[in-house]
Structure 1
């Protein structure tokens, strides 16, 4: 039974290496490196059943007997549910890119508005300048406004967007209050820059804290050999001399 468990563990490790070790396509940004969403969803769908089978086989091989027979379908059901909730890699990359490029997009939008461009034309310019998912989202907003939808309604709808919500809320408030959209967007750009700088500093501090433990573990043997061992050896030598 232990040999079977070892074989299952080796299969699981090999599967994980194949899944996690696929390098991105060379010469492309991370967002465009992997295959498109349909292919990735198809890959996840194809791997869901074999991975569930491997989990069930591993539970049966590790426990064995009646317990393994009962635990195998339970483990398979749990694995099936967990794998079904795994986020599409393309969706995760899109979300991360929107979060990263939002401050830059708001900065560019504020610059366009300061230069005298209308908000709709500024959306078109910024979207084409950034490309990717930001372009798709901003062009969708521009298209709705061009079709005659009330701009305040469009911006209020954008306020519910998971990543572009701050931009939608800011412009919607400016529309409702009659304030200058350029001033509101400029203030949002400054706020997002400060928030991004604070996040970078927080990450840097967290890296320092996380690096302290491995560094301490690396320095501890040297401290013991160079500091504690000579001290103890000297104490024993002095005791031997006194005798």
Structure 2
């Protein structure tokens, strides 16, 4: 009985999160927000709790975990294609943006002006986010609050952490940005090499299927014809 109550409460909470009552619809922001990700994680946890409470017993926990992971993957797959494209573009521009920002800081420009200059030069989704960072710093926001505008960019966590730690020194931030850009390019090189190796393995199967009819016609058919001729 307790498991059913827990499952019902979790399902009710998930429904209220997905379909809030009496809430006016406002235009959704184009870029991803941490709040949206938190809602997805919370929905996944609630789904896992609902399944675990409903099933109960020794199978409740593993099935609940599987349900939570499945819900998280489902919600991620529902992400708009435009948002995925923006994140991919921002990730692709991230190493270049870090290098340009490091060069501007090494030239003696202040942090906010360097960020604004790089944002104007790059444009695109990453440029828009950097422009928000520069604007927040000029308005007196703390480094953590300002750099939080990059939270939606994949693999930007190290850049944000380095920027917050080195906020008092532009030179220290420049060095951290150079190391970050180098590490990111090295990781991408490894990923590209691994993807190329996987592609070479996957190509073997269709290539073998292409040669299979020729092997059958050239190798097996003559042998079968000769055997049938001897038998008949």
> What is the TM-score of this pair, normalised by structure 2?
0.57
Cα distance in 1 for partners of 2:216, 2:141 equals 73
Cα distance change, pair 90–160 in 1 and its aligned pair in 2 (3 A):
closer
Q: Which has the higher contact order (CA 8 A, sep 6+)?
A: 2
Task: Name the structure 1 match of 2:96.
Answer: 104
Say whether the 8 Å CA contact 1:152–1:176 is kept in structure 2: no
Task: Name the structure 2 match of 1:180.
Answer: 172
* Alpha-carbon displacement from aligned partner over 1:39-67 (angstroms, at most 9, x marks no partner): xxxxxxxxxxxxxxxxxxxxxxxxxxxxx
Measure how far apart 1:87 and its partner are. Answer: 2.5
Measure how far apart 1:189 and its partner are. Answer: 0.5
Say whether the 8 Å CA contact 1:105–1:126 is kept in structure 2: yes
From 191, 215, 232, the equivalent of 1:223 is: 215
From 198, 201, 210, the equivalent of 2:202 is: 210
* Partner SS for 2:203: helix
Task: Name the structure 2 match of 1:165.
Answer: 157
- Which moved further from structure 2: 202-211 or 180-189? 202-211
Cα distance in 2 for partners of 1:232, 1:222 equals 15
Say whether the 8 Å CA contact 1:152–1:175 is kept in structure 2: no
From 111, 116, 126, the equivalent of 2:118 is: 126
Say whether the 8 Å CA contact 2:98–2:180 is kept in structure 1: yes
Q: Which has the larger radius of gyration?
A: 1
- Which moved further from structure 2: 188-197 or 217-226? 217-226
* Alpha-carbon displacement from aligned partner over 1:172-220 (angstroms, at most 9, x marks no partner): 2334899811111110010011112122222222222222211111111
> What is the TM-score of this pair, normalised by structure 1?
0.54
* Alpha-carbon displacement from aligned partner over 1:84-110 (angstroms, at most 9, x marks no partner): x83333222212211222122112222
Cα distance change, pair 154–180 in 1 and its aligned pair in 2 (3 A):
same
Task: Name the structure 2 match of 1:43.
Answer: none
* Alpha-carbon displacement from aligned partner over 1:138-157 (angstroms, at most 9, x marks no partner): 010001111122335533x3
From 136, 140, 150, the equivalent of 1:148 is: 140
* Alignment root-mean-square deviation, CA: 3.4
Cα distance in 1 for partners of 2:220, 2:178 equals 60
- Which moved further from structure 2: 181-190 or 99-108? 99-108
Measure how far apart 1:236 and its partner are. Answer: 6.6
Structure 1 spans left out of the alignment, 5+ residues: 1-36, 39-81
Cα distance change, pair 161–169 in 1 and its aligned pair in 2 (3 A):
farther
